[in-house]
Structure 1
């Protein structure tokens, strides 16, 4: 069928990056000092998201010129995204996490590698050494919400690394931010006017939880560092692999899904159902154990009224499906796809508001065995900067074994890349099941 699992290739352990300059950057014009309300969705994802965007050499835009343009564009962007120059703060009166728009600044770093871009290996493979391509602040109590690093390679290619707080953006709003950053770098107007009103996703008054929410774990207290089980970093030894599905593989899964399912199955639904079965059955087998899969659903268009296109906060909630391991092993694939489809369709305006209200009453956090997060069609690789589109964009390796990421393939390939992190024995079982259930 053309599917493949890329075994751990020979990876550079050290990209030999030298940091040449680190500076704090500020909005290019004065911004208003204020506090930014964070929704109950925002406050759940209180961790950084680290991405690297690779670019081929461009004779008209050597890395030094790109660094200058990128720094200036970021300073201009901080005017329109003033909260990115602020800091997270726990309001003592409301006991809510918020962003203090204090203009303390973001961080801009310039570095250089001793390697050519062609020498650092497969860009689509999650190499832990890519962590050298973005900067982590070591200042306790003064953590910037946005850090950008421009790293040049010997060939003239370069990487842009971003570490941004997930409280600031979800994937879609970060893509819009990048579009706007690219426009500013080209001295053009913003591509999309950002909307920072997080009250659009505030809880109702009084809160009304109108559905049961087995996909949430309820916490009595919410400290700034609390994370739910699926967001917890694992202390176990983990293997990292990329599983690849071609468009033919996805079409084959859609064919398998035909039968009891109502309507046609989407690519996302069949991929998610396939991953769910493999992940649940890769753990020590207990036929009576329940497995809950979580998957991200963008609610922007599902709300009434819909959110503005430029909404900058987190507008993604976790839909879910639950089944016993025995059912996942023995059921027709179409049944598993149906459960995933039902989970996505459950996410109506009222259901989304009920989740948000549950967060107000109980600090509800996503809770499940595995979370599938799709970056497949976010379009980071389609952002048109003055120096061109990225060759590839990828997350930096995380140590969360219960989050599986979907990414577009490298270059002009079709299909999808699935990035998995699991303990070695579970990874071997996952790989075997991944291929077995495709046949």
Structure 2
């Protein structure tokens, strides 16, 4: 049976912060402004993640912190914009990154607990937010604009193990570019090892056409002056991890009943959509639920973007349905709609969406936004002290976002919903595996 992991009661893992500082590129970097695409513009949110490592007698946490700090200094030469700051260009009416060398953040901390005292590391333990701080509060930073766009944190545990937390503004890059950054960072923790990937920083590859040419309706976006976006919702949330075993995934694929569309992501996204749509307190017979799935554009454009593209090369594939229909339909219908939305994102569709954003300056419009980390392999980066034993996103307060990522055995999904919806969500999740035809 698929399971929902409960939240641990522990919300304070007794972290003490020993060092909180700015780290600068090891060499002088050019003072320039980095153009941000229309996709980058609406992704101004922090994404905290954490990797856990077992104790290694050759690399105690203090050595790890020293090596990681030096590696960050070196890699910031290649990624100079990560040491910059966001600024608003009043002439163009756009955000850009001022590559001013103001520095990335670096934090060293310790916890009073051992790793095995914190239970299942994949569970959305609120205390893990202490392992990836999002601001440097003890520095004389005058305003929010002074805060670094990237903060790395090394936290040691009493067992000798440690965690590496990363809080990175999504404007810097998407998952694929973040994985490349992580690989390059890991390479610099070795002696005299070259970076494996040379990032392509040309974000004008995703600039709007001149003049813009909008050839599709883009209901996956809306203008933010029309209503408050769900993405920025500040309700009190509860958090759950869906744990889906290989048998659960095979069950979902069998229910989808179509081999071409029954990918792991498609069936998991359809399940999340259905359960969240039915868990709302609104009258489900009259309400429309919209699912947005993050789609990588690199291979969908003509010509394709370089695999090394360092920015946000993602758009959202939309699927909408009446909640009452979602409840009545066979599961295969919901999966088909997920697949159709993803197939819709062609080169021309993507260019049209970028042009729409140029004209309307909209933001994503969906009750649920699902993003997949299944193939990114953030836990595969090789450091001198080995690979991470566990990796996962850290909970935040963005109720629309759901992350799909690999588990020890199967697939995990982080779901973040208002407190009053979680019980209904659990009912529909369990009921699906028991009763749906």
- Does the alignment reach a TM-score above 0.5? yes
Runs of 4+ in 1 over 3 A off after TM superposition: none
1:422 aligns to 2:417 (yes or no): yes
Gaps of 5+ in 1: 222-226
1:333 aligns to 2:331 (yes or no): yes
Counterpart secondary structure, 1:350: helix
Task: Determine which of 177, 183, 186 is the counterpart of 1:179.
Answer: 183
Deviation for aligned residue 1:249: 0.7
Aligned to 2:223: 218
For 1:15-414, list aligned pairs within 5 A.
15-135=13-133, 136-138=135-137, 139=141, 140=143, 141-186=145-190, 187-219=192-224, 229-235=229-235, 237-258=236-257, 261=258, 263-284=260-281, 285-409=283-407, 413-414=408-409
The answer to whether the 8 Å contact 2:261/2:335 transfers is no
Task: Determine which of 409, 430, 433 is the counterpart of 1:435.
Answer: 430
Q: Per-residue CA shift, 1:124-158, capped at 9, x if unaligned?
A: 01111111112322431301111111111111111
Distance 2:426 2:56 in 1: 39
The answer to whether the 8 Å contact 1:170/1:316 transfers is yes
Q: TM-score with structure 2 length normalisation? A: 0.94
The answer to whether the 8 Å contact 1:297/1:344 transfers is yes
Distance 1:343 1:315 in 2: 17
Deviates further, 90-99 or 131-140:
131-140
Distance 2:431 2:11 in 1: 33
The count of corresponding residues between Structure 1 and Structure 2 is 426
Counterpart secondary structure, 1:169: coil
The answer to whether the 8 Å contact 1:374/1:406 transfers is yes
Q: TM-score with structure 1 length normalisation? A: 0.94
Distance 1:396 1:316 in 2: 21
Counterpart secondary structure, 2:404: strand
Distance 2:243 2:394 in 1: 18
Deviation for aligned residue 1:229: 2.0
What value does the CA root-mean-square deviation take over the aligned residues?
Answer: 1.6
The answer to whether the 8 Å contact 1:219/1:362 transfers is no
Counterpart secondary structure, 1:318: strand
